Amino acid sequence: MAHFSVTVPDNKATFFRELLQSLSFKGERTDEFELTQAQKSIIDQRLENYKNNPDSYLDWEDVQKDIEKRL
């Protein structure tokens, strides 16, 4: 069986689901997944780094504005 992975922007997700339903597509939801231990370790390390030095990180809004300026 073929397996396809599609990335859809958040603002288009509802439209994409409706499109698939209109085509009678029946798919398995993959909204939930399990992190590997390696992934959990990376998250734990990053959280610890943030706790120790929160001023070294940028707010998402600032990062997003910077990206938008470049586009």
Residue with tokens 């398995």: 28
pLDDT at 35: 86
pLDDT at 27: 65
Angle at 18 between CA 68 and CA 26, to 5 degrees: 120
Name the pLDDT band for 6 (thresholds 50, 70, 90).
confident
Taking only the tens place, the pLDDT of each residue in 9-64 is: 989 888 888 888 888 776 666 566 788 999 999 999 999 999 999 999 899 999 99
pLDDT at 52: 95
State the Rg of the chain over Cα.
Answer: 18
Question: pTM score > 0.85 for this model?
Answer: no
